[in-house]
């Protein structure tokens, strides 16, 4: 990624062959920006979270990055912090009862593969995998009642 400052408030960034112009409109706690790419201009927000962590909101989604280096020549290194979600822990999104587990230890899964059914408020909620990999551990049994955020299984 190459970052070229154009002024005190503007930068031109080249990412994967795409040329993206970022202009800061308002420097507030959550800064307001205009991002221009291929002639189309969109709004975005950003917030510094201290040291090298930055949170940005683009097109309706939040993203977090670690900006580890912006060196001479404008080369920037960015990494996405490992969130709990990336770590492969499949957690209960709400309290309920595990009525059925559709996978076994060692099964190969991909994004969207149904893993288990969590019954909550008389509705059967299908919990699907948000990453590809293998089922590394199954932490609950069929019939178990779980609290919100309980780790149900892990995909690695």
Partner 1 sequence: MAYADATFPLVGVTPAETYLSIPKIIRAATETKCDGVHPGYGFLSEDASFARACEEHDLVFVGPSSDSIERLENKLTARKTMHEAGVPIIPGSDNPLKDEHEAVEVAEIIGFPVILKAAYGGGGRGMRIAHSKEEVQRFYRVTKLEAASSFGKSEMYVEKQLTSPRHVEIQALAGKRGDVVILGERECSIQRRHQKLLEEAPSIGISDTTRSALSEAAKKGLEASGYTNAGTVEFLVENTGRFHFLEVNKRIQVEHLVTELTTGIDIVEEQLSIAFESQMNVSQNEIRVRGWAINCRINAEDPRRDFTPSPGTVIQYHAPAGPGIRVDSALYSGYTVPEYYDSLIVKLSAYGRNRKDAIRRMRGALDELEIIGIPTTVPLHQAIMIDKQFNAGDFSTTYLNTFTPKLNEELARLEENAAALAAANRIISIPIKKTLPTHMSDWRRSGRPHIHRPSW
Binding site for partner 1 (CB under 8 A): 1, 3, 5-11, 13, 15-16, 18, 20, 22, 24, 27, 30-31, 33, 35, 37, 42-46, 48, 52, 54, 56-63, 65, 67, 70, 76, 78, 85, 93-94, 111-112, 121-124, 128, 130, 148
User: In whole angstroms, how close is the CB of 123 to partner 1 at the nearest point?
Assistant: 7
Query: Closer CB to partner 1, residue 93 or residue 105?
Result: 93
User: In whole angstroms, how close is the CB of 134 to partner 1 at the nearest point?
Assistant: 18
User: In whole angstroms, how close is the CB of 97 to partner 1 at the nearest point?
Assistant: 12
Query: Closer CB to partner 1, residue 107 or residue 113?
Result: 113
Query: Closer CB to partner 1, residue 95 or residue 139?
Result: 95
Query: Closer CB to partner 1, residue 46 or residue 139?
Result: 46
Beta-carbon contacts of 3 under 8 Å, excluding residues fewer than 6 positions away, are 11, 12, 13, 70, 74, 75, 76
DSSP structure string for the chain: -EEEE-SSSEEEEEETTEEEEEEEEE-SSSEEEEEEETTEEEEEEEEE-STTEEEEEETTEEEEEEEEEE-GGGBEEEE----TTTTTEEE-SSSEEEEEE---TT-EE-TT-EEEEEEETTEEEEEE-SS-EEEEEE---TT-EE-TT-EEEEE-
User: In whole angstroms, how close is the CB of 60 to partner 1 at the nearest point?
Assistant: 3
């Amino acid at each position: 990624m190459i970052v070229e400052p154009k002024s005190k408030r503007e930068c031109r960034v080249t990412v994967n062959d795409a040329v993206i112009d970022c202009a800061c409109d308002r420097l507030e706690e959550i800064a307001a920006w205009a991002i221009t790419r291929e002639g189309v201009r969109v709004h975005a927000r950003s917030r510094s979270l201290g040291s090298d962590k930055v949170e940005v909101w683009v097109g309706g989604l939040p993203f977090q990055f670690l900006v580890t280096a912006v060196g001479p020549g404008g080369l920037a290194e960015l990494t996405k912090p490992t969130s709990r979600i990336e770590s492969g822990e499949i957690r209960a999104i709400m309290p309920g009862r595990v009525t059925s587990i559709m996978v076994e230890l060692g099964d190969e899964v991909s994004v969207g593969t149904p893993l288990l059914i969590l019954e909550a408020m008389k509705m059967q909620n299908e919990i699907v995998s948000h990453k590809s990999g293998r089922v590394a551990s199954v932490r609950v049994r069929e019939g178990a009642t779980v609290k919100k955020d309980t780790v149900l299984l892990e995909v690695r």
